[in-house]
C-alpha cells in the first residue's frame, strides 16, 4: 500500500473469452458495487472483441473496462491492429501496454511501449505499463537494473498519477503459480517508487504500482499488503468472477 493512493485491482483476460464469458463480467460488475468501490478501483481487460459489449454491460457499475494493447499510431494502414481512439470509442478507459507476452511474442521494445503509452494518453486512456525481469535476469542479480532500464525506456516524460499505472510482473511468475517472496516484492516496489519519485516528483510518489504474476485469492492479501504495492494485475484468476472478487475483497481486510 501507498498512503493516500487508491488501489486498482485489474484483470487481464489475454486471449480468452467469448460472448459466453460476459456473464462473468456481469457478475464482477455487480460484485464490485459495494462500499469498497469508494476506496478501491476495479478493471477488467477482456479481448478487444468483447470491449464494446462489456462496457455497455457495466454502465451502472464502478467496474472499468479496458483493452490489452493498442497501436502506437492513431489510425492508418496497420491491418489487424486497434488504436487507442478505437478503445476510447468503445468507452474503454485503460489499456495495458508492454505486457511481457507482447514484448516476447511481438518483439516489443521499451521504445515502442513508450510510444503506445503516449498514444493511449493522447486518447485520454490510462496506460498500464508492464515491466519485469526474466528468471535468468533475477538469478544473475540484474532485477533492479532491468526495472530501472524498463521504467526509463517505457514510461513517457509526461506520465502522471492519473494517466499512468505501472505493473511489476516478474516474467517467471506469470502463469506459473510461482511468486516472489514479500521481501522481494517490497524491494522491487520500493526501488520503482524511488525511481518514479526522482523522475516525476509528487506524481511519481502517488503513481500506482501494481504487482502481477500468479496472484490468486490465497496470496492476494499478503502481496497487496506489501509497501508500495497499489493493487494487482491478474491473469488466470480474473477469468472467474468468484476468484477476481475474492482478490478484490481482500482489500476489505487490508484497509480495515
Ligand atoms: P497470471 O498472469 O495472473 O495468470 O500469472 C498475470 C499477467 O500476465 O498479467
Nearest to 231 by CA among 197, 252, 208: 208
Please write the tens of the pLDDT for every residue from 87-96. Answer: 999 999 999 9
> Is 169 part of a structural domain of the chain?
yes
Q: Which of 135, 215, 218, 244 to mutate to test the pocket of ligand 1 (most atoms within 8 A of CB)?
A: 215
Please write the tens of the pLDDT for every residue from 91-143. Answer: 999 999 999 999 999 999 999 999 999 999 999 999 999 999 999 999 999 99
173 membership: H or E segment, kind and range:
none
List, in sequence order, every residue forming a beta bridge with 168; answer none if it has no partner: 131, 211
Which pLDDT belongs to residue 81?
98
Residues 188-203, mean pLDDT to the nearest whole number? 98
Is the pTM of the predicted complex or chain greater than 0.85? yes
> Is 242 part of a structural domain of the chain?
no
> Is 151 part of a structural domain of the chain?
yes
The CATH number covering residue 189 comes to 3.20.20.70
Please write the tens of the pLDDT for every residue from 3-12. Answer: 999 999 999 9
Confirm or deny that 66 is annotated as ligand binding.
no
Q: Which of 9, 11, 12, 13 to mutate to test the pocket of ligand 1 (most atoms within 8 A of CB)?
A: 12
Domain of residue 90 covers 8-230+248-254
Please write the tens of the pLDDT for every residue from 11-40. Answer: 999 999 999 999 999 999 999 999 999 999
Amino acid at each position: 500500500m501507498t498512503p493516500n493512493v487508491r488501489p486498482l485491482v485489474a484483470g487481464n483476460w489475454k486471449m480468452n473469452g467469448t460472448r459466453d464469458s460476459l456473464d462473468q463480467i456481469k457478475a464482477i460488475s455487480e460484485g464490485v458495487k459495494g462500499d469498497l468501490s469508494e476506496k478501491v478501483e476495479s478493471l477488467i481487460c477482456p479481448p478487444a472483441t468483447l470491449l464494446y459489449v462489456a462496457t455497455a454491460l457495466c454502465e451502472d457499475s464502478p467496474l472499468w473496462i479496458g483493452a490489452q494493447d493498442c497501436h502506437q499510431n492513431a489510425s492508418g494502414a496497420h491491418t489487424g491492429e486497434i488504436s487507442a481512439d478505437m478503445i476510447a470509442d468503445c468507452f474503454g478507459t485503460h489499456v495495458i501496454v508492454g505486457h511481457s507476452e507482447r514484448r516476447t511474442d511481438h518483439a516489443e521494445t521499451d521504445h515502442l511501449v513508450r510510444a503506445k503509452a503516449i498514444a493511449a494518453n493522447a486518447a485520454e486512456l490510462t496506460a498500464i505499463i508492464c515491466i519485469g525481469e526474466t528468471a535468468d535476469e533475477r538469478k544473475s542479480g540484474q532485477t533492479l537494473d532491468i526495472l530501472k532500464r524498463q521504467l526509463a525506456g517505457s514510461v513517457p516524460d509526461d506520465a502522471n498519477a492519473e494517466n499512468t499505472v505501472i505493473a511489476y510482473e516478474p516474467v517467471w511468475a506469470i502463469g506459473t503459480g510461482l511468486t516472489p517472496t514479500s521481501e522481494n516484492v517490497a524491494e522491487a516496489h520500493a526501488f520503482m517508487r524511488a525511481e518514479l519519485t526522482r523522475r516525476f516528483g509528487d506524481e511519481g510518489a502517488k503513481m500506482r504500482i501494481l504487482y502481477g504474476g500468479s496472484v490468486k485469492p490465497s496470496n492476494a492479501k499478503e502481496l497487496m499488503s506489501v509497501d508500495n504495492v497499489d493493487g494487482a494485475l491478474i491473469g488466470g484468476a480474473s477469468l472467474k468472477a468468484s476468484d477476481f472478487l475474492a482478490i478484490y475483497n481482500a482489500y476489505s481486510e487490508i484497509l480495515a
